[in-house]
Amino acid sequence: MSRGDPFAATRWVPWVLGALVLVFLALPLFVVIPTAFSASSLLRFPPRGWSLRWFHEYFASDPWMRATLVSVKAGIAVSLLSTLLGLGLAITFDRFTFRGRNILRALVMAPLMVPVVIIGVGLYVVFLRVGLNGSFLGLVIGHTVVTFPYATVVIGASLAEVDKRLEQAAIGLGANPVRAFSEVTLPLIAPGIAISALFGFLVSFDEVVIAIFVTGPQTATLPRQIWDGIRFDLNPTIAAVATLLIALSAVVLLLGEVLRRALRRTGDAAA
């Protein structure tokens, strides 16, 4: 051990703490996933037998399939809407200076700091007055409220990394500002746009608190269906659905990383 490095003996501490945190976060997965393949009619761990029965129950159930379809459609709509809003706001904050800019930025970031249950209560009261409670539009608006700040942050970070001289050079060569942005800057921030779109879909698909407040029987999402199942009909189908959600999240995150790298290479080549 070198006397010049007094912290050499404790270098292992962050690694051990990090490993313990990862184990703590991953431990529920090692309970939920095996339970989904249980042959028992009860949520029992460890399973005493193995079966795909509960996955079949999920795919054969009209309520589960209807909730899944609602979640997919809402996720796509929220992804598109939140990404467009995030792109517009990110450009506004990056390119323009105006009175009240910091106040507007604080309002946009507010959903990241306010507890989701408070947002859900507020949306419930407002939607009750305008007749949006229990509607698909209300669900999309509610999920967009909690997802577009993430899109603003991600796309804003991508914009901050772009060298503005590239766009200025395009304008100097005769391109108008819209064309310069679309052909120079937009390809460079495409990874951030793709990540924000995938993240918006994933957050909407997994979100349950807003769905509890603003959805009805015909617009119940998959997470809300899971919540109702826990309250009224506890069986391993819930574990099977949770396992599929875990797999979906992993696939979306992997796809996001693949897209980020591919679009980054394309943007670098274009630059």
Express each pLDDT in 35-71 by its tens digit: 888 777 777 777 787 888 888 988 988 888 999 999 9
Arithmetic mean of pLDDT, 202-213: 90
Alpha helix positions (H), 37-163: 53-60, 62-95, 101-113, 116-130, 136-161
Is 267's pLDDT higher than 80?
no
| Nearby residues of 159 by Cβ (< 8 Å), 6 or more positions away | 90, 91, 94, 185, 189, 192
- Measured CA to CA, the distance from residue 215 to residue 204 in angstroms comes to 13
pLDDT at 1: 46
- Measured CA to CA, the distance from residue 57 to residue 146 in angstroms comes to 32
Top pLDDT among 19 and 84 is at 84
Please, what is the average pLDDT of the chain?
83
Least confident of 21-25, 124-128, 230-234: 230-234
User: Which candidate, 22, 46, 52, places its Cα nearest to that of 34?
Assistant: 46
pLDDT at 263: 62
Compute the C-alpha angle 72/75/77, nearest 5°. Answer: 110
pLDDT at 4: 53
Give SS3 for 96. Answer: coil
| DSSP H/E element including 202 | helix 186-206
Q: Does domain 60-270 have CATH number 3.40.430.10?
A: no
Least confident of 2-6, 167-171, 240-244, 245-249: 2-6
Do residues 78 and 145 touch, judged by C-beta distance below 8 A? no
Do residues 58 and 244 touch, judged by C-beta distance below 8 A? yes
Q: Where in the chain is the domain with CATH 1.10.3720.10?
A: 60-270
Length of the chain: 271
How confident is the model over 218-264, as pLDDT tens digits?
A: 888 988 988 888 777 777 888 888 888 888 888 887 887 777 676 66
% of the chain at pLDDT higher than 70: 92
Answer whether 0.85 is exceeded by the pTM: no
